[in-house]
Amino acid sequence: MVRKFYVERNNNNDALVDYLVAIKYDARATTLHYIKNITEEELDWLPYEGWNTIGALLEHIIAGEQYFKRYFIEEKEFTKEEEERWLPGLDLGKYVSQLKGKSAEQYVRELTESRIELEESIRTLSAEKLLERRMGAYDKVTGCDLAWVLYHSAEDEVHHRGQISITRKLYKKMREGKL
C-alpha cells in the first residue's frame, strides 16, 4: 500500500465518501510503513507493565475497524463469536498478554482485509447517511454522525501509530543496552 497525495474520486460516490475513504487509506498506508520489517519479538515486546505491545495496538486498530463497521455502518451488535474475537483487541488492558504470537505478515494481512471490508462498507453510504445524527453515541447530549465516527477511527489509528513508533524506538534502545 503506497501513500497517495490526493483524494481519489470515485464517480459513483459523493465527495464526502471519497474524502473519508482517502483519510482512512492514508492512515493505513502510513501504519503499514511504520511496521515495515518488524520482527515477532518486537511485535510482542512489552516495554513496561501496563503498556501495550505493538501487536496489541495493531489488534486494537483491526478490532476498532470491525466494531465501527458492525455497529455504526451495519447498525448491528457483535454476535457472541464476534465479541469473543474482537473484545480483547478493543479493550486491551487485561487482554494484552493474550494478544501476541502473530507474525508481521499476519498483521499486514488482517489490516489489509479489515481496511478492504471497511472501505467497501463506506462506499455503500450516501453523504446523507454519513451526516445523519446518531443520538447516544459518543456524546450523550448531541450524539454524533457517521462521518465523525469514521474520521475519529482514522484519528485513533494515527494516535496508536505514535505509540507504535515510540515502542519501536524503546525496543531498539533496549536491544542496544541503552534502556
CATH assignment of the domain containing 139: 1.20.120.450
Q: Which grid cell is 79?
A: 454476535
Q: Are 56 and 25 in contact (CB under 8 A)?
A: no
pLDDT at 172: 95
Question: Does the pLDDT value for residue 75 go beyond 80?
Answer: yes
Question: Does the pLDDT value for residue 5 go beyond 80?
Answer: no
Tell me if 133 is assigned to some domain. yes
Dihedral sign computed on CA atoms, order 31, 37, 40, 44: negative
What's the number of domains the chain is made of? 1
Tell me if 64 is assigned to some domain. yes
Query: Residue 24: CB partners within 8 Å, gap ≥ 6?
Result: 115, 118, 119, 122, 150, 153, 154
Question: Does the pLDDT value for residue 157 go beyond 90?
Answer: yes
Tell me if 32 is assigned to some domain. yes
Q: Which grid cell is 151?
A: 474520521
Q: Are 20 and 145 in contact (CB under 8 A)?
A: no
- For residue 90, what are the CA distances in angstroms to 95, 96, 117? 9, 10, 18
Tell me if 51 is assigned to some domain. yes
Q: Are 75 and 68 in contact (CB under 8 A)?
A: no
Structural domain boundaries, residue 83: 15-175
Q: Model-level pTM?
A: 0.91
Tell me if 154 is assigned to some domain. yes
Residue 164 burial (10 A CB sphere; 0-12, 13-18, 19+): buried
Residue 12: pLDDT band by 50, 70, 90 thresholds?
low
Tell me if 9 is assigned to some domain. no
Tell me if 105 is assigned to some domain. yes
Tell me if 110 is assigned to some domain. yes
Question: Does the pLDDT value for residue 176 go beyond 90?
Answer: yes
